[in-house]
Amino acid sequence: MLIHDLVVHPRRVPLRVPYTSVVRGTVHEARVTLVELVHGDGRSAWGEAVSMPAVTGETPESAAALLSGPLREAVVGRRVEDLGENCTRVDRCIAGNGGAKAAVEIALHDAFAQELGTPLFRSLGGSDRKLETSITVGLGTPEEMARRADELAGDGFTALKLKVGHAVELDVRRVEAVRQAVGPGVRLRLDANQGWTAKLAVRAVRLLEDRGADIELIEQPVAARDLGALRFVRERVLTPVVADESVLTARDALEVVRHEAADVLSVKLQESGGIRNVLRIISIAEAAGLGCMVGCSLETEISVTAAASVVAARPAVTHVDLDAPLWLGASPVRGGVRYEGPVLNLPAGPGLGVNGLLPPPEG
């Protein structure tokens, strides 16, 4: 079955509540570039690019240009069945630009699983197991973050990821306020988004450890490229250290392992260029005896269903951070993964189980 066309659908999706972090500032909408891969008897497969200029250098405009140009040329006219070769062509036709490449690669996997008549997670070797995700609490005052955390705990979430990375004393007050609000039964993960120096990171984590805040892990406390600083923190705190922005490629993962810089590797389809590269990084973490987290950015059900399918296929994944669709005011997608509180239910239909897009809101 041949791929007949690749169509780009840029969308702006308002968020339910503003999202604030050190790396993004405050954002009120998700800007996503949805990809429709037309194949077979007019059926469509779906992919998605999410641009993260501060991490990958991509913008929605650059992703759309690449998707309409070299990435389209790499796959149109190709056979859906030639998944491995098609993904290699996508990966090699441009350097970097993980989000744009992930969009096409996800759509290729969707089309392939549709041809098999099986859900994507099954085509990857996965089982029909329920996944439980953490959910993010954005930066705010200690009181605001505690109030939001209490609401989410009341909705059944048992793992919260708190954005930190500002002044140490304020960050400590934020975490302590959240811990007091949710009690001891909720796991707290911290994400500093590269916001601290190595010494400040050690100070912040040690203060929280000494005060009994019971932190499950600390994600990317220092600059992504400074693996020496990441190792410095890891060697001086008891809390497991996660490498996130430090791990965009399989080669990055090998360097983190070589430097003994982290206890957990965090990986995102949108940063790493799609499913195959994420699977490579998970294998590296598994071989090195490290934990692995699969996360997301501000994405729709398309990309998150693909990421959840990877998790379902790889028991080596120890942490799931796939809450992005819960931030969207109104999803533009029909179908895909569905949530019951913190539990992700993977679709039973072929591929991603996505049945098309909803029309954008008027105005």
Check which CATH number belongs to the domain holding 213 and give it.
3.20.20.120
State which of 77, 97, 116 marks the end of a domain: 116
pLDDT reported for residue 252: 97
Are 140 and 15 within one domain?
no
Are 145 and 206 within one domain?
yes
The model's pLDDT over 284-314, given as tens digits with 9 standing for 90+, comes to: 999 999 999 999 999 999 999 999 999 999 9
Write down the mean pLDDT value for the chain.
94
For 22, the 3-state DSSP assignment is coil
Question: Running DSSP on this structure, what letter comes out for residue 344?
Answer: E
Q: Which CATH number is 9's domain given?
A: 3.30.390.10
State how far the Cα of 235 lies from the Cα of 241, in Å rounded to an integer.
Answer: 9
For 37, the 3-state DSSP assignment is strand
Per the structure, how many domains does the chain have?
2
Are 158 and 243 within one domain?
yes
**Report field, pTM of the whole predicted structure over 0.75:** yes
State which of 116, 147, 174 marks the end of a domain: 116
Residues annotated catalytic, as ranges? 163, 268
Q: Residue 30: name the closest of 274, 328, 273 by CA.
A: 328
Are 111 and 240 within one domain?
no
| Radius of gyration over every alpha carbon of the chain, rounded to an integer in angstroms | 20
Are 234 and 257 within one domain?
yes
Instruction: Determine, yes or no, domain membership for 362.
Output: no
State how far the Cα of 354 lies from the Cα of 204, in Å rounded to an integer.
Answer: 43
Which residue range forms the structural domain that includes residue 151? 123-357
Question: Running DSSP on this structure, what letter comes out for residue 130?
Answer: -
Torsion angle, CA of 299/56/90/118, rounded to 10 degrees?
Answer: -30
Q: How confident is the model at residue 89 (pLDDT cuts 50, 70, 90)?
A: very high
Are 107 and 141 within one domain?
no
Check pLDDT > 60 for residue 363: no
The model's pLDDT over 239-272, given as tens digits with 9 standing for 90+, comes to: 999 999 999 999 999 999 999 999 999 999 999 9
Instruction: Determine, yes or no, domain membership for 363.
Output: no
pLDDT reported for residue 342: 96
Instruction: Determine, yes or no, domain membership for 299.
Output: yes
Are 139 and 103 within one domain?
no
State which of 100, 116, 132 marks the end of a domain: 116
